Structure 1
Amino acid sequence: MSGGSTWQMKTYFDEFNGKEMQDFLASLKKDLSVFEKEIMQAEPLSSSNMEEWEKHFLAYEELFKRITHIGSYAGCLAAADAHNEDYAKLSYESGSVTSAAEKFKMLFKGAFKNATDKEFEEFVSRKQLETAAPTLRRYRKASQRTMSDEMEALTADLSVNGFSSWTRLYGTVSGKLNFEMEWPDGKKETIPAAQCRSLCANPDRKLRKAAFEGGKKAWRRVEDVCAAALNALAGTRLTLAERRGYGHFLDVALEQSAISQECLKAMMQAVDEAKEIKLLAGKAKAKVLGLEKLCWYDCEAALQIPGVEKYSWEQALKIIEKAFDKHYPALGTFFRKVIEKQWVDSVAKEGKRPGAFCSSSLYNGESRVFMSYTGSISDISTLAHEVGHAFHSSIIKKNRALCSEYPMTLAETASNFAEIILAEGILNDPEASDSLKLSILTNSVNDIISHLIDIPIRFHFEKRFHEARQKGEVPPSALKEIMRTTMKEQFVGLLEDGGEDELFWASKLHFYADDVTFYNYPYIFGMLLSNAMMQTLKKEGAEAFLPKYELFLERSGAGEAQTIAKKTLGFDLEDSSFWSETIEGLKGRVEKFNALADKLLKM
């Protein structure tokens, strides 16, 4: 089976550490230093210095493009080869550059903090700033929650060797982590921890359990390091949130994900009340696996479906391309571009970090997709998901650079919508076998379990962890107990005794992100909102809906999610009934799954 493709990075720089890259980095560092001196000396925004601040903003916008370029390049290289110390060094340097960007952003906020409303509106009305008004207004709003300029600058400087270093440490540790896998035939093999998740999607329960137990043993070896990193990240965030005047630690996440408190409350209320579909999906999955209840490693398990084996990379590309072309031709065209230009790194190999992501550069307008392809239908969906991110970036790049930053919530919408289009394409393809359709329906049921059970576990765990962290450091034993309790609650009686993964807090990459907090509920948001979009697409038709969808993507960096959704799509995201009705619409997938499983698996 083909393992896929290895990305080319030559359109970033012709060679790693070559003259082009070194000159780019040196020039960027020099320009950042000059810019820092200029902006640090500037007086706060007033009617007398608007031209000066306009110049600063435009200069920063150009610097920001270059910052995303080196950050994307370094991040991709380090993820693909965690053993390479030169890549790690560049990742550190790019972290310093990114830290500078955050510092400048805080200085802009500080400059806007005490300007009068009249002065600020006059400033954003200037000809070269009009289209940047949404971003500038967001800075202005956030400026009310800032420390002094000196304190914010110091915080940004310390982030490189303090805060962000914990994330880099976790990346290094996780990338080098291996475990002993005992295969069903008795053979033992040392393999990267990055492959554990894919193995837990294998139809063979003995194999899944072996990977699960082997992976846990590996994470147990580094649990103290992971706990130290997690405590340091959360502790720093809590201290900064208090100093900046946030009322609650979740307020930081709400600001980052650009949604209102009412929106999060409405969505999580609907999810927590959705016990019927949690039970429906969980019992359906357990039944086809021949189980009464589930263990954590059963949730993404593929089925022993007659006629379906591993999919080659070439087969995966054809499946995605056909689905995209049928339901969203523009997405199909974009997908071919991504593959032809070798923007995907999908080969599973030692030293490769776990997980999947899409990284983009505003400097060259390109994206890169990172994953480890092993041939499962889940891997095919992951590829579609990450290409959805890249498509979003290709749409929003029509805007100016600083209006191209969209929040996690809306980022996950485009990626999930791409996954749903893949599923719809397969399910409505008369040439697709029942076996393939059952595979995609299995993935759909897995998605329901993931977004309505798994990710709520992450949200409630992280919330409880932060509450505990406010009182002091939380040791590994307490972290494990919080995770056990949370898993049992969210599985609503579906979890086997001892079937929880008490070390999920250690193995889940997203808990260790230094740039965002609560990197979990945006996935729920994206999954449900994208399903609401598909439900609307079916009602209105592609010709009526897709232009509104692309407008939604284009404006996704221009305000809070609930406002953009209301203006472009007519959705009320602060009404829990919107989310409940969307969840209700998911039941049809489970019913189709049950019917086809009964037919093919002779249940």
Structure 2
Amino acid sequence: MTVETPATPDRWSLESWFTAFGAPDYIAFKTDLVRDIEALKSVAECLTNSVPEIVRVTCDFESLGDRLGHLSAYLGCLSADDANNEPVKSDEAWISTLEAESAKLRAALQARLAALPDDAFASLLQDPQLQGAEHAVTRMREEGRQQMPGELESLAADLNVNGLHAWGRLYDTLTGKMVFSMTFPDGHVESVPMARRRALMSEPDRRLREASFHAGQQPWLDHADTLAAALNGIAGTRLTLYGRRGIPHFLDTPLFDGTMSRASLDAMLQAIHTHIELPRRALRTAARLQGTQALHYFDLEAPQVAAPDEKPLTWDEACATVEKAFSSGYPRLGSYFRDMLQQRWIEAQPRPGKRPGAFCTGSLLRHEERVYMTWHGTVHDMVTLAHEAGHAWHSCVLRPARSFAASYPMTLAETASNFGEMILLDGLLSDPALTPATKAYLLDQEMLRAHAYLVNIPMRYEFEKAFYAERASGEVSVTRLRELMTCAQNDLYGDTLLPDGTDPMFWASKMHFFISGVSFYNFPYVFGYLLSQALFARFKTEGASFLPRYEAFLAATGSATCEEVARQTLGADLTDPEFWATALCAIEPTLQAYEKLV
């Protein structure tokens, strides 16, 4: 594929983090970090109940976390940028051992925090050096109460390097190198990187989608046993550790990580299942627009209304469109986005060897963010850009906070990213120059987005929940994984999918199931989408005067639970299904306008 060089930079720069991979500053940074983690770990393992000493170690641990996170983010960027870079892969494996040492340090500190008498812990939280860190330190104490004895936590950290996280690295390496031979509708045959498959399945030409879906299935089928072993290995390790730590249910840890309660999760899912016909109506409308009885899985991310000019978006056009929408609706976000482009903080260049997917990362040490994606010229890609920019803005708003208060859960992170998407789409739809054809196209895009969050991602959650329940009794076979995936798709999609329209191998192709650092990388997206609907409704009602409150919401995300943040910002009760139902039903006007297209 020939790609013209865009005027707007589409390659990021990491030189402000390190001169280069393997450069003297990089080597020195690694050496100092290893030394300091080991030294502080020795101190933490000998801690007594001395409050001043615990405060000092806690602050030092926070500082070391910034440095370790900085190095980890740098390597993650390089690895995604070039999946074939073996020296970077080697250092990624090495940093897992360093993260294991940091985990031992954290476990020792958490054990001491958990052992403190209540009055001593209350005194510790009053120390001026921990101002703004109360929420994080309290959570560390809670986590310390559910961990194994120190020597077992140390062993677990060591074993995870070559077990749990090795499975994740295997998946990244394997999928980053995957290619498949595809016969295009015009008859020519091409070797296609797997990173391009998703873009091909978003093409308006259904023949192209079908060809890429079926040809792209082959690598997943060829490697199914390996991928099933990885998935079983990741889940089996987690379940074993949960049992040893006395954690009753496999959802308890992802809920703790998301700082939300099971009551809030259940309330949200109850609202979705109760109102599932709303997003299903969008899928049925898409099928009618396509001229089929229902959809195939390869239709789910495809537009059913063609873009008016039928030309792929250029990177320059997309950046200009996002900047205009941000600047019009939220000037501070627009200014920040311009800065990101000018400082080359966004990687989007399409080329072989890049890892699939998109993410936002950053360095608390440098107070800088980076966005990674691959540009293929679709509106979906432009929405992804706005989504990841929303993440980056969230981190930017939190820069004044100390590091402990700048680390927020994925649930609340996804709220910011979805808010960024909504700013973009609202800006596009409110443009007075918008033609009816373009409006129809954007309505179609918005319903694609609603379906993803309200049907597809809940489907992933139901699959993963069923898989973990069965994994507790032993390894789950490839055949059974396919059955569980098909069952979850039929349950959520109902009759909106054709009888042969499921994707039984989706469990293998979805990277989120193989992230070794976090489980259930799904329901936080739904949480963020619906909470952002509630926030955006306030924004539309109150206008620009709401934006300072929105930024206060972002600033609070590292200092309170989801329930507390929502109560403080919206006066909302997240354990009430009616709150979620109201947020979900906010799509009704857009859905009705979409249905009129038929």
TM-score under structure 2 length normalisation: 0.97
2:192 corresponds in structure 1 to 191
Choose the corresponding residue for 1:13, options 18, 24, 27.
18
1:27 corresponds in structure 2 to 32
Q: Which amino acid aligns with 1:133?
A: E
- 1:445 Cα offset (Å): 0.6
Is 566-575 or 11-20 further displaced after alignment? 566-575
1:227 corresponds in structure 2 to 228
Find runs of 4+ consecutive structure 1 residues off by over 6 angstroms: none
Q: Which amino acid aligns with 1:29?
A: V
- 1:550 Cα offset (Å): 0.6
2:166 corresponds in structure 1 to 165
The CA distance in 2 between the partners of 1:295 and 1:344, in whole Å, is 33
Is 170-179 or 392-401 further displaced after alignment? 392-401
1:138 corresponds in structure 2 to 139
- 1:2 Cα offset (Å): 4.4
1:63 corresponds in structure 2 to 64
2:237 corresponds in structure 1 to 236
2:100 corresponds in structure 1 to 99
1:149 corresponds in structure 2 to 150
2:41–2:104 contact (8 Å) kept in structure 1: no
1:3–1:313 contact (8 Å) kept in structure 2: no
Stretches of structure 1 lacking an aligned partner (at least 5 in a row): none
1:132–1:402 contact (8 Å) kept in structure 2: yes
- 1:106 Cα offset (Å): 2.0
Q: Which amino acid aligns with 2:222?
A: R
The CA distance in 1 between the partners of 2:217 and 2:495, in whole Å, is 23
2:120 corresponds in structure 1 to 119
Alignment RMSD (CA, Å): 1.3
* Paired residue secondary structure (1:514): coil
Q: What aligned pairs does 1:260-409 form with structure 2 within 5 A after superposition?
A: 260-302=261-303, 303-409=305-411
The CA distance in 1 between the partners of 2:102 and 2:292, in whole Å, is 52
User: 1:446-489, CA deviations, whole angstroms, 9 ceiling, x for partnerless residues?
Assistant: 11111111101100000000011011000111100110111011
Stretches of structure 2 lacking an aligned partner (at least 5 in a row): none
* Paired residue secondary structure (2:373): strand
The CA distance in 2 between the partners of 1:420 and 1:222, in whole Å, is 38
- Identity rate, percent: 37
The CA distance in 1 between the partners of 2:255 and 2:538, in whole Å, is 26
- 2:449 counterpart of 1:444: no
- 1:54 Cα offset (Å): 1.2
1:3–1:347 contact (8 Å) kept in structure 2: no
- 1:436 Cα offset (Å): 3.3
The CA distance in 1 between the partners of 2:526 and 2:336, in whole Å, is 26
Is 52-61 or 74-83 further displaced after alignment? 52-61
Q: Which amino acid aligns with 1:186?
A: G
The CA distance in 1 between the partners of 2:365 and 2:26, in whole Å, is 14
User: 1:46-78, CA deviations, whole angstroms, 9 ceiling, x for partnerless residues?
Assistant: 2xx111111111111111111111011000100
- 2:115 counterpart of 1:110: no
- 1:431 Cα offset (Å): 2.3
The CA distance in 2 between the partners of 1:500 and 1:347, in whole Å, is 31
* Paired residue secondary structure (1:518): coil
2:490 corresponds in structure 1 to 488
1:548–1:569 contact (8 Å) kept in structure 2: no
* Paired residue secondary structure (1:360): strand
Total equivalences in the alignment: 592
* Paired residue secondary structure (1:455): helix
- 1:533 Cα offset (Å): 0.8
User: 1:290-345, CA deviations, whole angstroms, 9 ceiling, x for partnerless residues?
Assistant: 12101111111023343242110110011101110111101000100111111111
- 1:3 Cα offset (Å): 7.0
2:521 corresponds in structure 1 to 519
User: 1:210-250, CA deviations, whole angstroms, 9 ceiling, x for partnerless residues?
Assistant: 11111111111111111011000000111111111111111
1:570 corresponds in structure 2 to 571
Is 94-103 or 294-303 further displaced after alignment? 94-103
The CA distance in 1 between the partners of 2:228 and 2:40, in whole Å, is 38
The CA distance in 1 between the partners of 2:438 and 2:72, in whole Å, is 39
1:50 corresponds in structure 2 to 51
1:3–1:348 contact (8 Å) kept in structure 2: no
* Paired residue secondary structure (1:492): helix
* Paired residue secondary structure (1:373): coil
1:455 corresponds in structure 2 to 457
1:308–1:436 contact (8 Å) kept in structure 2: no
- 2:423 counterpart of 1:418: no
The CA distance in 2 between the partners of 1:439 and 1:69, in whole Å, is 41
* Paired residue secondary structure (2:83): coil
